[in-house]
Structure 1
Amino acid sequence: MATLPGRRSVAKFLVGGTALAIFAACTAPARPVPSSSSGSKPGTTAAAAPGADGPPAGASVSGESTAPSPQPAGGAPSPAASPVHALTATFSLTDPSSPWVLVNKHHPLNPVGYEPPDLVQPQVVLGSGGETALLRVEAADAAGRMFAAAAAAGAAMTLLSSYRSYDTQLALYNNYVAGFGSDDADTKSARAGYSEHQTGLALDIGDAGGACAFDPCFAEQPAAAWAAGNCHRFGFIVRYQLGKDGMTGFFAEPWHLRYVGVEVATDLVAKGYGSYEEYLGLEPAPAYL
């Protein structure tokens, strides 16, 4: 199996008779989380699974939102501060159909075999095919606008990988285990059912010039620089940022964008949070539970 520069590998599989280039996933929790009763309807209270010490600050399990902790003056936002309860719309953090669903090494999809019902191919320049060129409708529409804006700004992007089904992720992860062993595989690929890509809300971008795909040097390419400064305007965040691997469980991936909606993405950036976990006021998830 060829190893990508900088950490990642490409595994090629036949899925449904179509040859797909499947790229390593970027998230992976390890145990089921009960689905929130709030679903994904606007106006419900954001919910996260309670941990051993009870629900995280700012999240609700019983229907009442707790107040966030104050942010330290002049410093980075407090990891305990959770501003989501103050937004005009709130969605579940555990319902896999929610645009806010949290997927990391402590929070898997529930059910782990979740399949989005509204996958479509976005109107963007594609660098992949089959299921890996699909996104949920809302994310696909936003991606189309984002890619068009990037191209107009001279930072044209390509879509390298987006949705991946449970079965595709299982084949990819098993391929990593066969090549590197399970411990190393867990640093390179998500376990099946535990990938943000399975939500249909995540995508990996490349630069139109083709340089540094899935490599740390991608951060220096026009597409990455533009996305870092502008993707929030279309509802996306750069999910795995430099120096945040202790919080997210993954090293910097400037190519991995996650759709959370314009309100959350803009609020996260405006408040200076470097990870979705910190924004939600949740505990770090550097390793599987």
Structure 2
Amino acid sequence: MCYDDADGTAGRQEAGPESPSRRAFSRLLLAGTGLAALSACTPAQSFTPSGTPGPTPGTGTGSSTPTAAAAASTPPASTPSAPVPESTPAATQTATPVPPSAAARPPSAAAPGPQHSLSDPTSPWVIVNKHRPLSPATFVPPDLARPAVRLATSGEAALVNSTTAAAAERMFAAAAADGVIITLASGYRSFATQRATYGSYVNSRGQAEADTASARPGYSEHQTGWAFDIGDGSGADAFTPQFKDRPAAIWAKANAHRFGFVVRYPWMLHEITGYFYEPWHLRFIGKEAAADMRARGIGTLEQYFGLEAAPAYR
């Protein structure tokens, strides 16, 4: 659900003690399926990719090459009747043996630019998924700010951290120059807000079903300040699989890497990320890493950083 900018403010402001705004997560159905699309958030263990060997990207998913992950991340013209776990066709396997030492290193070990922590929530590379909760669980970004972009929400949801805000301003301006309007539909989400949202699902549906529709508190990327959801200028298809066909989603998929963003939950890689396709959920990781992921055809942060798949909570 999108919200109007209640106070009409579009310029970036330092965050004050605003009361959290709740955004209930709608249970989304993939077109033609009975599968619920999960809301964008997740997290848990520490790993600093400064050349340290890690597991082979795609571990636990059947995927052994970034190329296959990229191919699976592109949606077909119509939604399939059921999700299929990521796999690597034999035809895509390389015939050239890879030295064991190279195969053990995650792609990010050779990433351009500085290396960052995967566990520090103030790091642009922090990984939050169903195996990796935030630490501390109640983390609050110290530099929350409201970016000077078109807003479709208000309160805490209109905030991101200052680095993400600056990158979002540049990206939204570039999209507008191309005739595409992008709105910020949901940004920061506090631990308290996520706890209330998740709790309401548990109370009404039970924990097992709640875990398919809402992130547990402390397991949401939105809490880091590095992620936000986008909307289209028309407001159409917000938070639905059909959003992938809106101009904002099409433009972001093609250009977000230029500004340091990736589409965090790509098509058909839910067995790795734990979430079905969310073309509206963008995550800042820096221009060098985002461009490197795109150039190598790597679909998920788990694969890029050589981490295990996190399809469900432990």
The TM-score range, normalised by the shorter chain, is 0.7 to 0.9
Percent identical pairs in the alignment equals: 48
Q: Equivalences for 1:136-151 in 2 at 5 Å?
A: 136-151=161-176
The CA distance in 2 between the partners of 1:183 and 1:170, in whole Å, is: 16
Q: CA deviation at 1:27?
A: 2.5
Query: Does 1:45 find its partner at 2:50?
Result: yes
Q: Count the aligned residue pairs.
A: 252
The CA distance in 1 between the partners of 2:199 and 2:180, in whole Å, is: 35
The CA distance in 2 between the partners of 1:234 and 1:193, in whole Å, is: 27
Query: Does 1:225 find its partner at 2:250?
Result: yes
Q: CA deviation at 1:130?
A: 0.8
Q: Which amino acid counterpart does residue 267 of structure 1 have in structure 2? A: D
CA contact (8 A) 1:207 1:224 kept: yes
Q: Equivalences for 1:242-281 in 2 at 5 Å?
A: 242-281=267-306
Any gaps of 5 or more consecutive residues in structure 1?
Answer: 11-15, 39-43, 48-54, 60-68
Of 195, 219, 223, 1:194 maps to: 219
Q: Which amino acid counterpart does residue 142 of structure 1 have in structure 2? A: A
The CA distance in 1 between the partners of 2:221 and 2:122, in whole Å, is: 12
CA contact (8 A) 1:28 1:288 kept: no
Sort the Cα spacing of 1:255 and 1:71 in 2 relative to 1 into closer, same or farther, 3 A.
closer
Q: CA deviation at 1:279?
A: 1.2
Q: 76-85 or 120-129, which moves further after superposition?
A: 76-85
The CA distance in 2 between the partners of 1:138 and 1:158, in whole Å, is: 18
The CA distance in 1 between the partners of 2:137 and 2:294, in whole Å, is: 30
Query: Normalising by the residue count of structure 1, what TM-score does the alignment of the two structures yield?
Result: 0.79
The CA distance in 1 between the partners of 2:117 and 2:177, in whole Å, is: 35
Sort the Cα spacing of 1:72 and 1:129 in 2 relative to 1 into closer, same or farther, 3 A.
closer
Determine the structure 2 residue equivalent to 1:123.
148
CA contact (8 A) 1:46 1:91 kept: no
Sort the Cα spacing of 1:104 and 1:150 in 2 relative to 1 into closer, same or farther, 3 A.
same
CA contact (8 A) 1:173 1:192 kept: yes
Determine the structure 2 residue equivalent to 1:84.
108
CA contact (8 A) 1:92 1:100 kept: yes
**4+ residue segments displaced more than 3 Å:** 16-19, 69-81
Q: Equivalences for 1:149-188 in 2 at 5 Å?
A: 149-188=174-213
CA contact (8 A) 2:18 2:156 kept: no
The CA distance in 1 between the partners of 2:24 and 2:254, in whole Å, is: 24
Q: Which amino acid counterpart does residue 252 of structure 2 have in structure 1? A: A
Bigger relative CO (Cα 8 Å, ≥ 6 apart): 2
Secondary structure at the aligned position of 1:132 is classed as helix
Q: Which amino acid counterpart does residue 83 of structure 1 have in structure 2? A: P
The CA distance in 2 between the partners of 1:212 and 1:80, in whole Å, is: 41
The CA distance in 2 between the partners of 1:267 and 1:245, in whole Å, is: 22
Determine the structure 1 residue equivalent to 2:139.
114
Q: Which amino acid counterpart does residue 84 of structure 1 have in structure 2? A: S
CA contact (8 A) 1:58 1:280 kept: no
Determine the structure 2 residue equivalent to 1:238.
263
CA contact (8 A) 1:124 1:158 kept: yes
The CA distance in 2 between the partners of 1:199 and 1:124, in whole Å, is: 19
Sort the Cα spacing of 1:71 and 1:248 in 2 relative to 1 into closer, same or farther, 3 A.
closer
CA contact (8 A) 1:80 1:282 kept: no
